[in-house]
Amino acid sequence: MNISSLIKLYLGRGLLAVAWAAAFASAHAELDAVAIALLVGYPLIDAVSSLIDLRSNPDRSERRVTQFNGVLSTLAAVAVGVAGFGGAAAVLHVFGAWAVVSGAAQVLVGLRRRGPELGQQWPMLIAGGLSFLVGIFYNFQALDGNPALDVLSVYATGGGVFFLAQAALLAWRARRAQPRAVQR
């Protein structure tokens, strides 16, 4: 994948996550059709991002992990849609399980992309690790007598910020790597 495509992918993914978080924060008071549609939409954003990544990146070593994450996110969208009818605890369990597995996959992709061309990937590594840990927390929170879905907006905002940070770092690195025009 060329650096420009990866910057656009991370930028788009980050902006969509932040927009989703804002929409979900205002729509989740009732676990109604709108909230469930938004819940389904978030993993689908990840699935589509994985598909775009795969199409732009035919020969990279992280391809299998990206394929796995795309399938996982698609299954998570279906599962969270079904869980939405079971209440907040069921949603947190599904979202938590997805966050654990997709966070681990994100760490693997970040580790494989740490070469000189694609940067150190620290924001992606941190985001993946946090996703893993937060997913565990969500499953414990789901066992609480009164689980709340507010945390999902925070999760999406944090993930979006890390994607935006990675896009900015890659853009800065690409700009620094460009040969400087010789001034007369």
Model pLDDT, residue 161: 94
The total number of structural domains that make up the chain: 1
Domain membership of residue 11 (yes or no) is yes
| pLDDT classification of 91: cutoffs 50, 70, 90 | very high
Domain that holds residue 17: 3-177
On whether residue 52 sits in a domain, the answer given is: yes
Residue 92 confidence (pLDDT) above 70? yes
Examine the pLDDT at 113 and tell me if it is beyond 70.
no
Tell me the per-residue pLDDT of 39-86, one tens digit each, with 9 for 90 and over.
999 999 999 998 998 887 766 666 888 888 899 999 999 999 999 999
Residue 118: predicted pLDDT? 52
Domain-located, residue 184: no
Mean pLDDT, residues 98-109 taken together: 89
Long-range contacts of residues 69-76, Cβ cutoff 8 Å, at least 24 apart: 69/102, 69/105, 69/106, 69/109, 70/46, 71/47, 72/98, 72/101, 72/102, 72/105, 73/43, 73/44, 73/46, 73/47, 73/98, 73/102, 74/43, 74/44, 74/47, 76/43, 76/46, 76/102
Q: Look at residue 80 and tell me if it is in a domain.
A: yes
Q: Give me the pLDDT at residue 182, please.
A: 44
The confidence score (pLDDT) of residue 183 equals: 46
Alpha helices (runs of H) in 28-121, residue ranges in sequence order? 33-56, 63-83, 88-112
The answer to whether residue 133 is domain-embedded is yes
Report the alpha-carbon distance of residue 74 to residue 100 in Å, rounded.
15
Q: Is residue 72 part of a domain?
A: yes
pLDDT band at 177 (very low <50, low <70, confident <90, very high): confident
What does the pLDDT look like over 19-41, one tens digit per residue? 999 999 999 888 999 999 999 99
- pLDDT tens digits for 114-165? 655 555 677 878 888 999 999 999 999 999 888 999 999 999 999 999 889 9
Look at residue 54 in the predicted model and tell me its pLDDT: 86
In a domain, 55, yes or no: yes
- Do the domain assignments include residue 182? no
